[in-house]
Structure 1
Amino acid sequence: MIKNPHGKLSLLSFLLLLITHVGLCQNFTKTNTGIKTSVDGLTVEVQFFNSRIVRVIKAPEGTSFNKQSLSVIKTPAATPLQIQQQGNAVLLKSEALQVALDLQTGKVAFSNLNGGLLFTEKDYGSQFTAIKDVNKNTYSVRQAFRLDKDEVIYGLGQQQNGKMNQRGQKVFLRQDNTKVCIPFFQSVKGYGVFWDNYAPTTFLDNPHETSFDSEVGDGSDYYFLYGGSADGVIAQMRDLTGQAPLMPLWVYGFNQSRERYRTQYELLNVVKKYRSLKVPLDGIIQDWQYWGKDSNWNAMSFEPSTYPRPKELIDSVHQLNAHIFFVAWPGFGPNTPQYKELKEKKMLLNFETYPPRFMSTPYDVYNPMARDIYWRYLDKGVFSLNSDAWWLDSSEPDHSNLKESDFDLPTYLGTFRSVRNAFPLQHVGGVYDHQRQSTSDKRVMILTRSAFAGQQRYGANTWSGDVHSNWETLRKQVPAGLNFSLCGIPYWNTDIGGFIGEGFPKGAKNPEFQELYTRWMQFATFTPMMRSHGTSIPREIYQFGNRGEWPFDVQEKFINLRYQLLPYLYATAWDVTSHSGSIIRALYMDFVNDKKVYDIDNEYLFGKSFLVSPVTDKGTTTQSVYLPAGAVWYDFWTGERTDGGKAVDKATPIDIIPLYVKGGSIVPWGPKVQYAEEKKWNNLELRIYPGADAAFTLYEDENNNYNYEQGKYAEITFNWNDQARTLTIKDRKGSFPGMLSTRKFNIVLVNNQNSKTITYKGKEVTAKF
């Protein structure tokens, strides 16, 4: 302490001491969810939504930041916290993690309970640049973080970059055809980060930092999700942004499409042809122009000359035990009543979308009244005829003749720039919500081309867009789909054969296209939706040749395989709905201790049992497959057992892809059928792959309504004790109308001569091998 000659503290020294003391003991306020303070000209708030989800908000002092998230539907839960100040830091501790806020630099860091650093911002890592977003004073917002040097991350939506690990990149996140942009990533360290901003955003990762930089934002707003594993992160993301409802059983079968069926008779004859050939089929998709001329684009009504009796068409498809999708777009041609009504009410976004030459214009998806109008026409023109599913095309949307000034257009929620990337979320959500309000007797099924965080709650399956028909593109679909799923959105698919099938003379009879299409179909067999579609080349199975010719026979083989996997796939889908599971799984999700799998981009798990290695190179006759350590593996085709932790070479004639089953798996095997609900599962084969203990829960319900939400479903759990060589079938849990009371299970021990048949009446039984 400095004193003056008279032994008294000088005023200057006192003020200096006071300023120093205040600097060292920066004030903060405890809130119901965490703390709030001011640091370096910013208001900083740390909010715990539960013990594992933390929201961090930063905004310039003197501004208000009141945002209703479009993605996040969770509200903060009461979370016990220990809060204490340690020097220039405030430490917040929940039962799962610790968060430290530096009161001098504003840096927020996240650690586990042992103090191990998980994730951290950079010092002074928040940057706000004042801008004018049309008539509003706001900011461009940038937040920088630091990752470990060799840390592997996944996510960013669906990027066509062919990469599994998303480190070392600069990615402009703005929705586009084939490019789904989600500002989210998760780390092999067991955490995820969601940057809750809807403006075009640049993701950057280099040796110095990792950052999100958004063109518009009133504040920096992100969520840290600590799951401890990939499944845990996804569970937290679903808790934050919504759970994924169960889709109807039929949609997990095979679905046929074309750009496009031109009359109702052409479409119906495709279904009839599949039935006459006895090739399984469940869904048929009606693409654009069933409404007539492009000036009448998306009229949500039927052109009388080509679709004279649409109700009869739908009824006929149903009589053939199939289901029908109808396409709908977010833009309307100028001759449609929708266009005229929405324009009169100033609910159009005044830029061009597809098809541009007819000035098709999208509606303001952010406006709830506009979403009401959209559904009113869709319901009256199509859904009231008893249609089954939607194809919401161009949900990015397509943006023709793009001008930067288009992003200045007003929407219900602000400028288009400020909400750009949330367009598919709002559009798809409007259709889902309205159909759910209309009926619970038919599950919502939406096939769509774009997505944003939270879209899993809307019964949507996103496809990878208008990709090209070539081998390089096929290879890129594997990491694209896996990274998309790792963002917490479990339903994804791709056009079998690629959409743009140009450069193949003779089309489906061209041997080069036949090989590409067949390999693409084999991949699609092991994705959440198996769907054939494309332009230029019709892709129905009979276009490729006749039964007895390899292109037909191999396709039929894999379509049949898909249907026999339905009990396994439907149970996996139930795990998605009930336990935040995933259908396609990056290898690291189940083998985090094997670092060799972290950047494998051409293998994945289908459910938790099947390892799939799609053939993605022309002319491949042998493919090297890495089998992760920590498990034994069975060649699906031969039953041969191999220890994990090494690569094996697998012969790949045109009717084979490398497919392995993890030891310690129980796989229910369904009957051969022509459509998903043709036969009850009263005589299932249970394939047991020994090598470890195993468990599997068979799930059944009424297949296409929401009664399961009221508990009308049944589960049967199977447990395999590997040491005792005993299978226990537990008591059935639950019930639903039409449930089987008695059934048989034919139990097969793979790679063993033993098999047993058990009659099951809902009570526990065992079988010893």
Structure 2
Amino acid sequence: MEDKIYVHNLPPEADINVVIPPAWAFGIIYGAYTNQEQSIELINQIIEYDYPIDAFWIDSWIWDWKNKGKGPDKYMDFVGDTISYPHMEGMWDYMKEKNIKSGMWMWDCILKPGNEEVYNNFKERGYFTHEFINTNGWHNGTQTTIIGDDSKEVKGTWCGNIDFNNDEAVAYFKLKTKHFFDKGLDFIKLDRTDAINVCKRMFEMSQDFGKETRGRGFILSHSNGVNNEEYKKYPGKWTDDTRSDWSYETQSREFSPWLPKVSFKENLAMYTDTNKHFHKIPFLANDMGGFAVSNNGYIDEELYIRWLEFAMFVPLTTPFSQPENKTGNIAFKVSERANRIFKEYAHLKMKLFPYIYSYAHKSRIEGINTIRLVPGHLYQYQFGEEILVAPVYESSQTRRKLYLPGTSKWINYWSGEVYQGGQEIITDAPLDKIPLFIKQGAIIPQRKYSRSIESGNNNIIELHIYPGSEGSFSLIEDDGISNHYLKGVYALTNMELKTNKKGFNLVINPVSGCYEGMKELRQWEIIIHDSKVPATVKLEEKELKFKISKRSMLIDPFKSDKKEKCIVKFEYD
């Protein structure tokens, strides 16, 4: 077929450094400090509570869970804790059966005590950049994730930093870690460093050794290491170890002193503050709910809910916390209310995958990230062009002042109220509702809910239409796991909303391009979000029936060949 060799050319504004994570990374990625039995139990609970789950990583205790990560023994011995994870391959096979990708924590050094054999092996080969006496207690005789840790220095131990600029050292490091991938590992949570050369090598391991990838790697690294644009080739990143508090400026509780001065408000600003580099990162996650609880272990339900609402409207969503957090930032462990709200928002994010993934591609094709700034308004942003997000970042607030940008009209997602752009408004924001506004003229593609991205598909696409102005959307699809898109191999479907004297037309243009496994037919379900009801709805000349609800209208589904143009006409009396 001609389409199979169709190649899209990159426009001049494209950012060729941007590499897109695998499709599954745009679902929900969980992290925990659990042993093998606890990991399987938690995964089963997540599924039983009807939460989506696409990936699950075990953090630093995977090397020595039995001693709660005390160290320095086991960090890193390239073996891990075989007592607490007696059948790691079986655990990861279990996850694979459920379309859940497996991750584990790594860093870029070896502590000598307890790891003398591997330490001396690297040293004798000349694979360290340097050795030094490490007096940091992190996995070095204490637990610096513990509540109340005062960051005091410990008795020094020898530490060797592995030389990730040395190809022989890298090859040896890969050889020592390959057995984890052979057992089913898919991706790496990289800690301690975010240097580009280390991120590159860790990313390459996930590409080369991951059993379920066809070349598209994935890591999670810290939010620095951005001294040149190459960092974009090794997604993704997260916003470091945040405090479970509203704002560092108005601290309500005491935290361990080693923690960055970042709570919820500051974390939000990391996505929007142009004075710092973080907003430039295309695929940036955050520890949903905050990484570190306060010294008294307090769990703030309101804060958790406001944070989870925000975390669903960033490209990568990662519930995670320090081991001393008794909830692990898992919603059903926080409260029944948190459980209900998390489920609602997590399901919505999964349905929005066609929208979110299209914008992931656009970050490369157009050179503009999914998170789009609203100048002069630090604590709100656009999630793509069509959705405005204004998280509530202050305690006990159920109203929110926000700015509606531009000259377009905006529709309140929850109430359907219409507002003119270019003005500040105050909107209701009850605890279960993050302020969301949809640009008039928007076409927002969604798909049917599935518990994981890979278990779902785009065979049925819901088009949520917000009429009143002209608009367009480019749906971009690929196989989700290969790097063929880097050569311009993907499917592009342009859709347009065109107004006329009688009403408006929805134009679905023929697909351009193709990808392996693409279906020829698609079912479309159109939902019109408007109080006005048309007299007729026609697909070409065939009349379509529709059902009316309070603020929307559902058109009878129809199927079409992706290579054919479809025009749906909405005419009013």
TM-score by length of 1: 0.60
2:73 is matched with 295
Kept after mapping to 2: 8 A contact 1:331/1:363: yes
1:755: Cα distance to partner? 4.5
1:604: Cα distance to partner? 0.6
Q: Which whole-Å deviations, capped at 9, do the CAs of 1:484-533 have from their partners, x for residues lacking one?
A: 6776431112111111112455x5xx4xx111111111111111111111
1:699 is matched with 476
Q: Which whole-Å deviations, capped at 9, do the CAs of 1:720-754 have from their partners, x for residues lacking one?
A: 11346111111112223322221211122221445
Q: Equivalent residues in 2 for 1:324-343 (5 A)?
A: 324-334=102-112, 335-336=114-115, 337-343=117-123
Residue 434 and residue 284 in structure 1: after superposition, are their counterparts in 2 closer, same or farther (change >3 A)?
A: closer
Instruction: Specify which of 246, 270, 274 is matched with residue 480 of structure 1.
Output: 270
Q: Equivalent residues in 2 for 1:195-274 (5 A)?
A: 235=13, 238=15, 242-258=16-32, 260-261=33-34, 263-274=35-46
Kept after mapping to 2: 8 A contact 1:498/1:533: yes
Q: Equivalent residues in 2 for 1:56-455 (5 A)?
A: 235=13, 238=15, 242-258=16-32, 260-261=33-34, 263-292=35-64, 293-334=71-112, 335-336=114-115, 337-346=117-126, 347-351=128-132, 352=134, 354-357=138-141, 358-380=157-179, 382-396=180-194, 424-436=195-207, 441-449=214-222, 450-452=224-226, 453-455=228-230
Q: Which whole-Å deviations, capped at 9, do the CAs of 1:231-272 have from their partners, x for residues lacking one?
A: 99xx57x4xxx52122111111111122x11x1111111111
SS at match of 1:667: strand
Residue 654 and residue 488 in structure 1: after superposition, are their counterparts in 2 closer, same or farther (change >3 A)?
A: closer
1:429: Cα distance to partner? 1.1
Kept after mapping to 1: 8 A contact 2:242/2:267: no
Kept after mapping to 2: 8 A contact 1:493/1:531: yes
SS at match of 2:558: strand
1:609 is matched with 386
| 1:749 lines up with 2:528 in the alignment | yes
Kept after mapping to 1: 8 A contact 2:72/2:140: no
Q: Give distance in 1, aligned partners of 2:239 and 2:279.
A: 15
Instruction: Specify which of 281, 298, 315 is matched with residue 489 of structure 1.
Output: 281
Q: How many residues align?
A: 485
Residue 759 and residue 350 in structure 1: after superposition, are their counterparts in 2 closer, same or farther (change >3 A)?
A: same
Task: Report which of the two has the higher share of strand.
Answer: 1
Q: Equivalent residues in 2 for 1:535-574 (5 A)?
A: 535=322, 536-537=324-325, 538-545=328-335, 549-574=336-361
Residue 644 and residue 720 in structure 1: after superposition, are their counterparts in 2 closer, same or farther (change >3 A)?
A: same
Q: Which whole-Å deviations, capped at 9, do the CAs of 1:416-450 have from their partners, x for residues lacking one?
A: xxxxxxxx111101222454455761521110113
Q: Give distance in 2, aligned partners of 1:576 and 1:338.
A: 42
Q: Which whole-Å deviations, capped at 9, do the CAs of 1:130-160 have from their partners, x for residues lacking one?
A: xxxxxxxxxxxxxxxxxxxxxxxxxxxxxxx
Q: Give distance in 2, aligned partners of 1:447 and 1:278.
A: 25
Q: Give distance in 2, aligned partners of 1:268 and 1:518.
A: 25
2:558 is matched with 758
Kept after mapping to 2: 8 A contact 1:456/1:491: no
Amino acid at match of 1:385: K
1:479: Cα distance to partner? 2.1
Unmatched segments (≥5 aa) in structure 1: 1-230, 397-423, 588-597
1:338: Cα distance to partner? 4.4
2:543 is matched with none
Kept after mapping to 2: 8 A contact 1:522/1:614: yes
Q: Give distance in 2, aligned partners of 1:310 and 1:569.
A: 33
1:524 is matched with 311
Residue 485 and residue 735 in structure 1: after superposition, are their counterparts in 2 closer, same or farther (change >3 A)?
A: farther
Residue 374 and residue 563 in structure 1: after superposition, are their counterparts in 2 closer, same or farther (change >3 A)?
A: same
Kept after mapping to 2: 8 A contact 1:342/1:348: no
Instruction: Specify which of 627, 631, 643 is matched with residue 420 of structure 2.
Output: 643
Kept after mapping to 2: 8 A contact 1:297/1:360: no
Residue 289 and residue 361 in structure 1: after superposition, are their counterparts in 2 closer, same or farther (change >3 A)?
A: farther
SS at match of 1:383: helix
Residue 359 and residue 639 in structure 1: after superposition, are their counterparts in 2 closer, same or farther (change >3 A)?
A: farther
Q: Give distance in 1, aligned partners of 2:434 and 2:296.
A: 24
Kept after mapping to 1: 8 A contact 2:206/2:219: no
Q: Give distance in 1, aligned partners of 2:497 and 2:102.
A: 40
Structure showing greater radius of gyration is 1
Kept after mapping to 2: 8 A contact 1:271/1:320: no
SS at match of 1:725: strand
Instruction: Specify which of 481, 500, 503 is matched with residue 292 of structure 2.
Output: 500
SS at match of 2:465: strand
Q: Which moved more, 1:612-621 or 1:476-485?
A: 476-485
Kept after mapping to 1: 8 A contact 2:204/2:217: no
Amino acid at match of 2:559: T
Kept after mapping to 2: 8 A contact 1:521/1:555: yes
Q: Give distance in 2, aligned partners of 1:252 and 1:530.
A: 7
Unmatched segments (≥5 aa) in structure 2: 1-10, 65-70, 142-156, 248-262, 534-552
Q: Give distance in 1, aligned partners of 2:48 and 2:516.
A: 32
Q: Give distance in 2, aligned partners of 1:620 and 1:488.
A: 30
Kept after mapping to 1: 8 A contact 2:285/2:318: yes
> Matched residues, percent identical?
22
Q: Give distance in 1, aligned partners of 2:51 and 2:118.
A: 40
1:455: Cα distance to partner? 4.1
Kept after mapping to 2: 8 A contact 1:338/1:374: no
Residue 621 and residue 755 in structure 1: after superposition, are their counterparts in 2 closer, same or farther (change >3 A)?
A: same
Residue 674 and residue 433 in structure 1: after superposition, are their counterparts in 2 closer, same or farther (change >3 A)?
A: closer
Amino acid at match of 1:320: K
Q: Which whole-Å deviations, capped at 9, do the CAs of 1:535-557 have from their partners, x for residues lacking one?
A: 12122222123xxx312111111
Q: Give distance in 2, aligned partners of 1:486 and 1:543.
A: 31
Amino acid at match of 1:761: D
Kept after mapping to 2: 8 A contact 1:664/1:693: yes
1:467: Cα distance to partner? 1.5
SS at match of 1:668: strand
Q: Give distance in 2, aligned partners of 1:632 and 1:502.
A: 42
1:460 is matched with 235
Q: Give distance in 2, aligned partners of 1:720 and 1:296.
A: 59
Kept after mapping to 2: 8 A contact 1:469/1:502: yes
Kept after mapping to 2: 8 A contact 1:719/1:728: yes
Q: Equivalent residues in 2 for 1:604-683 (5 A)?
A: 604-683=381-460
Pairwise CA RMSD of aligned residues?
2.3
TM-score by length of 2: 0.80
SS at match of 1:516: helix
| 1:725 lines up with 2:484 in the alignment | no
